[in-house]
Chain A
Amino acid sequence: MQSNLMPTVVKRSENGPFMKEPDFERALSKRTAELIKQYGLKFNPQTPVPSDDDMADRLYQAGVDLFVELGVLNQTTERRILFGRDEVEELVAKARNKLVLGVGKDAVIMRHREVEGETAAVVLSGPTGTPCSEKYHPLILLSCAQEPLVDMLGAGSVSTYMGNQIIPGTPLEILGARRDAVVARDAVRKAGRPGMHISDVAVPLTCQGKMAAVDPEYGLRTSDAFLVSQMVEMKTSYDQLSRATYLQGIGMHIVDLMTPLIGGLGGGAEGTAVVTIACHILGVVLYNASYHMMSHTHMRWVNNTDRMGLWMQSIVGQALSRNTPIPALNDIYCVSGAGAEELLWEVAAGAVAGTPSGMNMQGAGCTGGFKTDHTTGLEARFIAEVSHACLGMTRQHSNELVLELLSHYEKTFNEPNRGMPFNEVYDENTVEPKEIWLEKYQKVRQAVIKMGLDLDGGWRKVKHG
């Protein structure tokens, strides 16, 4: 097939089977339920990290079936974009298994990771998915960028420009997008890592807003990335496809953003896992994505650190690792916020579950996105430390650890500890964590070391071999 599939995608968007969106959703739910039975997929809350290779492979096949049979709904044309099984297999096989992100001394290589493998996960961090104020967003970005174990920088969502509410599609959106691109670039410069990969500017919602953030000198460059979204579940539009086309044209990294909802159209954990596999295939086939951001959340708590969310991360990671060459990335999304011990337990569980399952790391999303500025770089440091201590770990061992980690926080889901805003846990001048936050970090860190994780040796091995 051609390297630029967009003409084909548009042709199929215009000529594929017509289907109203509610009918597409019902068809997706129905077929997913059938596939769960057909492939014998079963979530076990006692095994958030399953060690069942065969189930991982069956899950992958179920996801391929869903993608091939149902296709992707183009919301613009209300038609399904269909690709044949042979086409899917060819495109997945040709997907990149590693990529250089960033430039110069600050570049990192994100790789396809093996289940229970020794390849280190790369760590993307920033206030992704957490709302930020105009005042503290630059400091929060810097707090992440300056963490030596953080490899790439994500973006926060800021809703104002000089105190004015940003209205999408207006000049304020362009101003906000360019401001946040500059702020992110400034953060990596201040951190002494000017070539660090920046993943997205989250302010703009429109295509033109995203494009406005591209600025080789002051904003985002081709070594950086923008997210191209899927709408839940398995839907795209000409707007999103146009973003992918533009990014492909200028040689900039495309990140396939999926946000499957546990309890949503896919049903429970098994069905949402099937949908998530299909979403990854969508990202390969339609978006030609450099990497894929799996950002699934529980419909009620808006996190993925519960048993269903962890199981999904693990089994989807394994299915992708065993059946595709793609580098997969999981966004650890938590109910707790900065300054809360629970947040550290949550991110530790996410890293322990994901690392032996073939995932790269992203995080932390804090407070389910409910609180502004309740996020810092310290929890990102902890994700990296824990992940690097899990290299080569068996899934069975990972499962035992995750069950213990869950006991420290899962009872708080209905009344979560949202923690504190950035300025209460970090010094605004030095951009260093305050004692109140460091004490909690040290306490949880020591407890995790007692569980047998070599938090000091792990990252040393990754950095120095």
Chain B
Amino acid sequence: MANINDEIRNGLREALINGDSDTSVNLTHQALEQGALPLDLIQQVIVPTLTKVGQDFQDFVIFLPELMASGDAAKKITCILEEVMVSSGQSVSSLGTVVIGAVENDIHDIGKNIVSTLLRSHGFKVIDLGRDVTPSAFLDAAQKEKADIIAMSSLMTTTRPSTRSTINLFREVNLRDQYKFIVGGGCITQEWASEIGADGYALDAASAVELCKSILAK
């Protein structure tokens, strides 16, 4: 199997950073035709590039449109690479499965969307339930998707109690210990996370990624 050609590697990095989906897809096909391994492309090019994009977003060097475009481009080429892996009998692995949503009654989801984008770009399988997600919807998705982590966001102090009621529902049906729960959002603090018995709290999107990694590394 061939190494990734430097020209293609650099071109793919640049295309991802620029959010250029068409060029990203073309270069991915070229790399595969030259014998590059899908897993190498993911680990050596996509993940480090998207990590840098995520950091630049965190540092306000780039803004949400650029982050979304990079995420979209990465999603397209990841789909191509996964298809190749599946067709050649390889298993498609992810860092873990995260079921994420803005809790019941909370219609503010932009922060949650950013966390979803960053988690995907770091190799997590993300099941995004959207906003105003009821406790039972979290429960159903967790079971259906065999989730590792349940990530809940809440912006308003008046919707914050739904983070507690969601965890409590999992307790009630004796499934609490099967999943790790993390919380974040404008009105969430470490104190609140501790009070409701969550496994982790993230102040921002970048630390949510690190939190998920550290939880699954344990």
Q: Does B159 contact A (CB under 8 A)?
A: yes
For chain A, give the interface size range.
35 or more
Measured between C-beta atoms, what is the minimum distance from A267 to chain B in Å? 4
Task: Check A205 against B110 for contact (C-beta < 8 Å).
Answer: no
Task: List A344-383 residues whose CB lies under 8 Å from chain B.
Answer: 369-370
Question: Among the listed B60, B68, B162, B186, which residue makes an inter-chain contact with A263, where contact means beta carbons less than 8 Å apart?
Answer: B60
Knowing A159-B158, A205-B105, say if A29 contacts B64 (CB, 8 Å). Answer: yes
Task: Check A157 against B110 for contact (C-beta < 8 Å).
Answer: no
Measured between C-beta atoms, what is the minimum distance from A125 to chain B in Å? 20
Question: Among the listed B58, B157, B159, B186, which residue makes an inter-chain contact with A302, where contact means beta carbons less than 8 Å apart?
Answer: B186
Q: Give chain A residues whose Cβ lies under 8 Å from the Cβ of B65.
A: 29-30, 32-33, 265-267, 271
Given A168-B104, A263-B64, output 20 extra A-B contacts at Cβ < 8 Å.
A29-B65, A33-B65, A131-B187, A157-B158, A165-B161, A166-B158, A166-B161, A167-B105, A167-B161, A168-B105, A168-B159, A173-B158, A205-B156, A231-B107, A232-B110, A264-B64, A268-B63, A271-B63, A300-B60, A302-B186
Q: Does A25 contact B (CB under 8 A)?
A: yes
B 56-75 binary contact with A (CB < 8 Å = 1; else 0) = 00101001111010001000
Q: Give chain B residues whose Cβ lies under 8 Å from the Cβ of A370.
A: 186, 189
What are the 10 tightest A-B residue pairs by CB atom distance, in nearest-first order?
Answer: A29-B65, A159-B157, A165-B161, A168-B105, A267-B63, A263-B63, A264-B64, A131-B157, A267-B65, A159-B158
Task: Check B105 against A169 for contact (C-beta < 8 Å).
Answer: yes
A 446-464 binary contact with B (CB < 8 Å = 1; else 0) = 0000000000000000000
Question: Which residues of B are in contact with A by a Cβ distance under 8 Å?
Answer: 58, 60, 63-66, 68, 72, 104-105, 107-108, 110, 156-162, 164, 186-187, 189, 204
- Give A226 to B189 CA distance when docked, in angstroms: 29
- Give A48 to B161 CA distance when docked, in angstroms: 40
Question: Which residues of A are in contact with B by a Cβ distance under 8 Å?
Answer: 25-26, 29-30, 32-33, 131, 157-159, 165-169, 173, 203-206, 231-232, 237, 261, 263-268, 271, 299-300, 302, 369-370
Measured between C-beta atoms, what is the minimum distance from B52 to chain A in Å? 17
Q: Give chain B residues whose Cβ lies under 8 Å from the Cβ of A158.
A: 157
Measured between C-beta atoms, what is the minimum distance from A221 to chain B in Å? 24
Measured between C-beta atoms, what is the minimum distance from B137 to chain A in Å? 16
- Give A173 to B105 CA distance when docked, in angstroms: 12
Task: Check B64 against A265 for contact (C-beta < 8 Å).
Answer: yes
Counting chain A CB atoms within 10 Å of each CB, the highest count among B64, B159, B160 belongs to: B64
- Give A204 to B110 CA distance when docked, in angstroms: 21
**A-B Cβ contacts below 8 A, count:** 74
Interface of B is mostly: loop
Measured between C-beta atoms, what is the minimum distance from B109 to chain A in Å? 9
Task: Check B156 against A157 for contact (C-beta < 8 Å).
Answer: yes
Measured between C-beta atoms, what is the minimum distance from B99 to chain A in Å? 18
- Give A317 to B107 CA distance when docked, in angstroms: 28
Q: Give chain B residues whose Cβ lies under 8 Å from the Cβ of A169.
A: 105
- Give A263 to B187 CA distance when docked, in angstroms: 20
Task: Check B158 against A168 for contact (C-beta < 8 Å).
Answer: yes
* Residue on A nearest B164 in the bound complex, by CB: A165
* Residue on B nearest A368 in the bound complex, by CB: B186
- Give A30 to B189 CA distance when docked, in angstroms: 34
Question: Among the listed B64, B105, B186, which residue makes an inter-chain contact with A267, where contact means beta carbons less than 8 Å apart?
Answer: B64
Measured between C-beta atoms, what is the minimum distance from A208 to chain B in Å? 13
* Residue on B nearest A239 in the bound complex, by CB: B107
Measured between C-beta atoms, what is the minimum distance from A141 to chain B in Å? 17
Q: Give chain A residues whose Cβ lies under 8 Å from the Cβ of B189.
A: 370
- Give A299 to B157 CA distance when docked, in angstroms: 18
Measured between C-beta atoms, what is the minimum distance from B11 to chain A in Å? 23
Question: Among the listed B63, B104, B105, B160, which residue makes an inter-chain contact with A264, where contact means beta carbons less than 8 Å apart?
Answer: B63
Knowing A131-B187, A168-B105, A369-B187, say if A264 contacts B110 (CB, 8 Å). Answer: yes
Knowing A264-B110, A300-B204, say if A205 contacts B63 (CB, 8 Å). Answer: no
Task: Check A29 against B186 for contact (C-beta < 8 Å).
Answer: no
- Give A159 to B187 CA distance when docked, in angstroms: 11
* Residue on B nearest A159 in the bound complex, by CB: B157
Identify 7 residue pairs between A and B in the complex whose beta-carbon atoms are under 8 Å apart, listed by A's number: A32-B65, A159-B161, A205-B156, A232-B110, A267-B66, A271-B63, A302-B186
- Give A32 to B110 CA distance when docked, in angstroms: 18
- Give A131 to B156 CA distance when docked, in angstroms: 9
Measured between C-beta atoms, what is the minimum distance from A19 to chain B in Å? 16
Measured between C-beta atoms, what is the minimum distance from B22 to chain A in Å? 15
* Residue on B nearest A263 in the bound complex, by CB: B63
- Give A268 to B160 CA distance when docked, in angstroms: 29
Measured between C-beta atoms, what is the minimum distance from A412 to chain B in Å? 16
Q: Give chain A residues whose Cβ lies under 8 Å from the Cβ of B157.
A: 131, 157-159
Q: Give chain B residues whose Cβ lies under 8 Å from the Cβ of A268.
A: 63
Measured between C-beta atoms, what is the minimum distance from B194 to chain A in Å? 16
Measured between C-beta atoms, what is the minimum distance from A126 to chain B in Å? 16
Measured between C-beta atoms, what is the minimum distance from A217 to chain B in Å? 26
Measured between C-beta atoms, what is the minimum distance from B120 to chain A in Å? 13
Q: Give chain A residues whose Cβ lies under 8 Å from the Cβ of B156.
A: 157, 205
- Give A168 to B106 CA distance when docked, in angstroms: 9
- Give A206 to B104 CA distance when docked, in angstroms: 12
* Residue on B nearest A28 in the bound complex, by CB: B65
Q: Give chain B residues whose Cβ lies under 8 Å from the Cβ of A131.
A: 157, 187
- Give A200 to B160 CA distance when docked, in angstroms: 21
Q: Give chain A residues whose Cβ lies under 8 Å from the Cβ of B162.
A: 167
* Residue on B nearest A33 in the bound complex, by CB: B65
Knowing A159-B157, A300-B60, say if A26 contacts B68 (CB, 8 Å). Answer: yes
Measured between C-beta atoms, what is the minimum distance from A18 to chain B in Å? 18
- Give A38 to B37 CA distance when docked, in angstroms: 43
* Residue on A nearest B107 in the bound complex, by CB: A231
Measured between C-beta atoms, what is the minimum distance from A170 to chain B in Å? 10
Measured between C-beta atoms, what is the minimum distance from B68 to chain A in Å? 7
Measured between C-beta atoms, what is the minimum distance from A156 to chain B in Å? 10
- Give A70 to B133 CA distance when docked, in angstroms: 28
Q: Give chain B residues whose Cβ lies under 8 Å from the Cβ of A266.
A: 65
Measured between C-beta atoms, what is the minimum distance from A273 to chain B in Å? 13
* Residue on A nearest B64 in the bound complex, by CB: A264
Counting chain B CB atoms within 10 Å of each CB, the highest count among A168, A261, A268 belongs to: A168
